[in-house]
């Protein structure tokens, strides 16, 4: 059975040609799926009965079930637990910003990157998500929370470890007949899988790129993020330079401040040396609590000291608001839940 939500518009056009139908059926079906949010072929009134029953035999349109929703009591954040077809459970988040509603989407069940501070790393990766499972997170959140105008691929998982499905996801949400969410409203975050940064640069998309940096030197970064052993800072920075040259787009570097670990003055100066003169932005995140891990947030004074050193060097810098931390929906707090028993 084909899941029609796993097809880009071009793929769906090909699909219809292959079953002896007109190409334009794809746009019709796309409209039903993404505009009207219909998943039952029988509701598609401009599709002939014949074609509907033919489709029912070979294809279906997936839907994602909201297993649980947790609503923050301090801000407008909502965390969703989604039940997948194979009974795995993933998490996604809805966040209210001034510029609109943002869906934070998971890209894998679990994650293989083993960052020492992140809840998504606990238990490793179970599997990659299909493009449809990412699209369905956005559609489910949109239906429950309200119109989604922005997407961040910052839930569980490493997007560049699931590159092809993530690119397909972007094509589907991007398409005007799909969800019509523009590239500038989508952000991919990576821990720094260097070959995929080059590949992504060559896609020439309008999508924003964030790099999870978290340490300004190799010794500390390798300690915190094992991926740094495979792709140390020099290589990462070279890839970032290529990305900026190729796309003329600014990169955001995420730096989560952990008390006593990466929050010293010397770290801020090293960070400045690493980023000076580059087309970039620094996003400081006071580390969020994960009970199995036990790192503590850098205190506010330290955060402000860090920010000042970076800004004084002429690098733009913001501190991320900690939305949804009371429901474990903040950065690094998303995780896979145990396989649901039937």
Site string for ligand SAH, 147-166 (x = CB under 6 A): -------x---x--------
**Catalytic annotation, pick one of 13, 91, 133, 328:** 91
Contact (CB, 8 A) for 69 and 78: yes
Query: How many residues at the interface with ligand SAH, by CB under 6 A?
Result: 18
Contact (CB, 8 A) for 119 and 113: no
| Dihedral angle, C-alpha 127, 122, 68, 97, nearest 10 ° | -100
Q: Look at residues 324, 290, 337 and name the one whose alpha carbon lies nearest to residue 145.
A: 324
Let me know if 91 is a catalytic residue.
yes
Nearer to ligand SAH, 285 or 315 (CB): 285
Window 241-270: residues binding ligand SAH (CB under 6 A): 254, 256
Least gap, CB of 118 to ligand SAH (angstroms):
3
Residue with the CB atom nearest ligand SAH in the bound state: 332
By CB under 6 A, tell whether 332 contacts ligand SAH: yes
Q: CA quadruple 196, 188, 233, 290: dihedral positive or negative?
A: negative
User: Could you identify the residue written with the tokens 């290589």?
Assistant: 235
Least gap, CB of 47 to ligand SAH (angstroms):
39
Window 186-215: residues binding ligand SAH (CB under 6 A): 189-191, 212
* Residue in 135, 287, 315, 317 binding ligand SAH, rule: CB under 6 A: 287
By CB under 6 A, tell whether 288 contacts ligand SAH: yes
Least gap, CB of 63 to ligand SAH (angstroms):
25
Question: Number of helices (H) and strands (E), helices first, in the chain?
Answer: 11, 14
User: Residue 12 corresponds to which tokens in the numbers above?
Assistant: 């769906």
Residue-wise DSSP of 131-174? HHHHHHHHHHHHHHH--EEEEEE-SSS-GGGSHHHHHHHHHHHH
**Separation CA 124–CA 244 (nearest Å):** 32
By CB under 6 A, tell whether 117 contacts ligand SAH: yes
Residues lying near ligand SAH in the complex (CB under 6 A) are found at 113, 115, 117-118, 154, 158, 189-191, 212, 254, 256, 285, 287-288, 290, 331-332
Catalytic positions, written as ranges: 91, 331
């Amino acid at each position: 059975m084909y899941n029609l939500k796993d097809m880009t518009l071009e793929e769906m056009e090909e699909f219809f040609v292959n079953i002896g139908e007109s190409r334009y059926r794809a746009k019709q079906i796309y409209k039903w799926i993404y505009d009207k949010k219909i998943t039952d072929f029988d509701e598609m009134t401009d599709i002939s009965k014949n074609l509907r029953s033919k489709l029912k035999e070979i294809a279906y349109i997936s839907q994602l079930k909201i297993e649980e929703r947790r609503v923050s009591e301090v801000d407008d954040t909502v965390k969703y637990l989604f039940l997948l077809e194979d009974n795995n459970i993933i998490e996604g988040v809805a966040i209210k910003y001034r510029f609109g509603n943002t869906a934070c989407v998971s890209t894998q069940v679990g994650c293989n990157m083993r960052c020492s501070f992140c809840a998504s790393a606990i238990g490793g990766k179970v599997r990659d998500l299909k493009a449809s499972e990412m699209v369905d997170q956005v559609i489910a959140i949109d239906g429950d929370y309200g119109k989604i105008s922005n997407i961040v691929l910052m839930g569980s998982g490493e997007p560049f470890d699931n590159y092809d499905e993530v690119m397909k996801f972007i094509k589907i949400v991007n398409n005007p007949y799909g969800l019509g969410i523009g590239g500038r409203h989508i952000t991919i975050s990576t821990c720094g899988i260097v070959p995929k940064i080059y590949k992504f640069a060559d896609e020439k998309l309008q999508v924003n790129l964030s790099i999870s940096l978290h340490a300004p030197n190799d010794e500390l970064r390798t300690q915190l993020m094992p991926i740094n052993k495979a792709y140390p800072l020099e290589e990462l920075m070279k890839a970032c330079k290529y990305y900026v040259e190729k796309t003329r787009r600014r990169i955001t570097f995420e730096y989560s401040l952990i008390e006593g670990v990466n929050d010293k003055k010397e770290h801020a100066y090293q960070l400045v040396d690493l980023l000076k003169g580059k087309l970039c932005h620094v996003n400081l995140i006071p580390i969020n609590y994960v009970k199995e891990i036990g790192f503590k947030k850098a205190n506010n004074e330290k955060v402000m000291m860090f920010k000042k050193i970076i800004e004084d060097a002429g690098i733009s810098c913001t501190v991320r608001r900690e939305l949804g931390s009371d429901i474990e929906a903040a950065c690094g707090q998303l995780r896979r839940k145990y396989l649901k028993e039937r």
